[in-house]
């Protein structure tokens, strides 16, 4: 029975993103529920999140490139020593990683669950390409997803709306191994705070996916109209310097860098998200839990799963600065409307509680290990 309570998470580079936060909170919660938890990354950058894991969680660092004989030997030894029953691959797009994990687990009673943390038909490679090159990357991504699906025991997407997109990308009509498990809230509720006239962005500062420049464009319209309001930008990334230059001339924009976003959620009234694509948009749920009303560009289906009009606003794509600014400005002008949305948002966020999401993962693990028992009984 002990072997059926051991899970190993796999990531590429461990840093400060949403995938790492989700892995850390799930790992901690599963360890508290009696699971033996192991985390494997091929490179570790930022270690603060790792410090939140309990001491019984083992963290192992391998090295790039992934498929070396040394890595294969180390991974197999780890699977045996930790009596791993389920691998959760949080890095589910490159098929080479899945093939590596299957080789490491050859002839072992180990189930493999793949998790796609993006929308199935878009990613950084696709979004940054144009024309024939974009079509080529879509084909390559679809083929990788198809190969991964065939090689795994369960394939997890973050939104029910992603399932038909996954089938379209992979050209698979029958997908019994496809499951939906959303990301959980990864931050504890902050201390109640009086709401300030603050508009907030939380996330990486990069343009291919997050398109933070759009928020600055919107703010350039709103700032002269609302002299008591400010824009707070929390996060860091490769395009921070370019974005700070782009914000020159704006008087009430603050770049805070990488910080704990909890107090910012607690104080801010409105959260903006104008990404070109997302997998889940964890910041939406985090903001809603703190009564910070999200206004999100509806470029990905999961936005409509999370925000329903009574707890925030989804602005239909394509991005139109004037329309987006109109929607945000309407909330800024009407505090009663904003307050009503905030109350409903906080209640809606409870559906993404850590307890609820961990229970869904445990059910999936139990189903996988039960299948394993039948196959090897």
Domain assignment of residue 212, yes or no: yes
Domain assignment of residue 116, yes or no: yes
Contact 232, 199 (CB under 8 A): yes
Phi–psi pair at 247, nearest 5 degrees:
-85, 0
Tell whether 124 and 245 lie within a shared domain: no
Domain assignment of residue 193, yes or no: no
> Residues 5-64: pLDDT tens digits?
999 999 999 988 889 999 999 999 999 999 999 999 999 998 888 999 999 999 999 999
Tell whether 88 and 174 lie within a shared domain: yes
Instruction: Return the pLDDT at 376.
Output: 45
Tell whether 338 and 357 lie within a shared domain: no
Q: What does the DSSP assignment read for 228-275? A: T-EEEEE---TTHHHHHHHTTT-SSEEEEES---HHHHHH-SEEEE--
Tell whether 168 and 220 lie within a shared domain: no
Left, alpha or beta for 171 (phi > 0: left; psi -120 to 50: alpha)? left
Domain assignment of residue 51, yes or no: yes
Domain assignment of residue 190, yes or no: no
The three-class DSSP label of residue 83 is coil
Residue 298 CA to residue 60 CA, distance in Å, equals 38
Residue 79 CA to residue 8 CA, distance in Å, equals 8
Tell whether 152 and 240 lie within a shared domain: no
Domain assignment of residue 64, yes or no: yes
Tell whether 310 and 365 lie within a shared domain: no
Contact 14, 44 (CB under 8 A): yes
Residue 108 CA to residue 95 CA, distance in Å, equals 20
Domain assignment of residue 191, yes or no: no
Tell whether 60 and 163 lie within a shared domain: yes
* Domain tally, the chain: 2
Residue 42 Cα distances to 13, 15, 45, angstroms: 6, 11, 10
The three-class DSSP label of residue 350 is helix
The three-class DSSP label of residue 293 is strand
Alpha helical stretches, state H, the chain: 18-32, 69-81, 95-104, 124-127, 131-151, 162-170, 212-222, 240-246, 262-267, 282-289, 302-306, 321-333, 335-348, 354-376
Tell whether 125 and 240 lie within a shared domain: no
Instruction: Return the pLDDT at 189.
Output: 65
The residues, ordered by sequence, that sit 6+ positions from 119 with a Cβ below 8 Å of its Cβ are 162, 165, 277, 278, 279, 300, 301, 302
Tell whether 236 and 368 lie within a shared domain: no
Tell whether 281 and 258 lie within a shared domain: yes
Low-confidence ranges of the chain (pLDDT < 50): 1-3, 373-377
19: domain CATH number? 3.40.50.2000
Phi–psi pair at 18, nearest 5 degrees:
-65, -35
Domain assignment of residue 265, yes or no: yes
Residue 292 CA to residue 266 CA, distance in Å, equals 7
The count of other CB atoms within 10 Å of the CB of residue 326 is 14
Q: Which of 192, 8, 170 is nearest to 90 (CA)?
A: 8
> What is the CB-side half-sphere exposure of residue 180 using CA atoms within 13 A?
15
Tell whether 79 and 7 lie within a shared domain: yes
Contact 305, 161 (CB under 8 A): yes
Task: Please name the residue that has the structure tokens 């009673």.
Answer: 109
Instruction: Return the pLDDT at 2.
Output: 41
Tell whether 204 and 169 lie within a shared domain: no
**Domain that includes residue 256, residue range:** 198-351
Contact 113, 87 (CB under 8 A): yes
Residue 183 CA to residue 22 CA, distance in Å, equals 7
Contact 62, 42 (CB under 8 A): yes
């Amino acid at each position: 029975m002990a072997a059926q309570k051991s899970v190993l998470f796999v990531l590429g580079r461990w840093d400060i993103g949403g995938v790492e936060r989700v892995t850390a909170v799930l790992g901690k919660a599963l360890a508290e529920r009696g699971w033996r938890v192991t985390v494997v990354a091929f490179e570790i950058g930022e270690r603060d999140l790792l410090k939140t894991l309990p001491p019984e969680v083992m963290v192992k660092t391998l090295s790039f490139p992934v498929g070396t004989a040394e890595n294969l030997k180390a991974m197999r030894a780890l699977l045996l020593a930790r009596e791993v029953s389920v691998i959760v691959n949080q890095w589910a797009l490159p098929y080479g990683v899945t093939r590596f994990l299957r080789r490491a687990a050859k002839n072992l009673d180990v189930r493999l669950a793949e998790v796609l943390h993006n929308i199935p038909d878009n990613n950084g490679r696709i979004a940054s390409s144009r024309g024939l090159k974009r079509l080529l990357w879509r084909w390559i991504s679809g083929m990788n997803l198809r190969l991964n699906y065939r090689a795994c025991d369960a394939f997890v997407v973050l939104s029910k709306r992603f399932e038909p997109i996954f089938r379209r990308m992979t050209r698979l009509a029958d997908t019994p191994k496809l499951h939906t498990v959303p990301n959980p809230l990864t931050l504890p509720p902050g201390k109640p705070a009086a709401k300030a006239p603050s508009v907030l962005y939380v996330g990486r500062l990069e343009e291919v996916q997050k398109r933070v420049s759009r928020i600055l464009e919107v703010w350039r319209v709103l700032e002269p109209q609302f002299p008591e309001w400010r824009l707070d930008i929390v996060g860091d990334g490769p395009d921070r310097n370019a974005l700070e230059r782009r914000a020159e001339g704006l008087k009430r924009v603050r770049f805070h860098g990488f910080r704990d976003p909890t107090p910012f959620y607690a104080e801010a009234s409105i959260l903006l998200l104008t990404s070109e694509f997302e997998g889940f948009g964890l910041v939406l749920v985090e903001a809603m839990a703190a009564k910070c009303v999200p206004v999100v560009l509806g470029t990905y289906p999961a936005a409509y799963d999370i925000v329903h009009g009574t707890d925030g606003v989804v602005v239909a794509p394509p991005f139109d600065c004037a329309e987006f600014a109109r929607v945000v400005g309407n909330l800024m002008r009407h505090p009663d409307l904003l307050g009503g949305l905030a109350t409903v948002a906080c209640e809606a966020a409870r559906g993404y509680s850590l307890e609820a999401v961990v229970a869904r993962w445990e059910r999936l693990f139990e189903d996988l290990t039960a299948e394993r028992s039948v196959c090897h009984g």
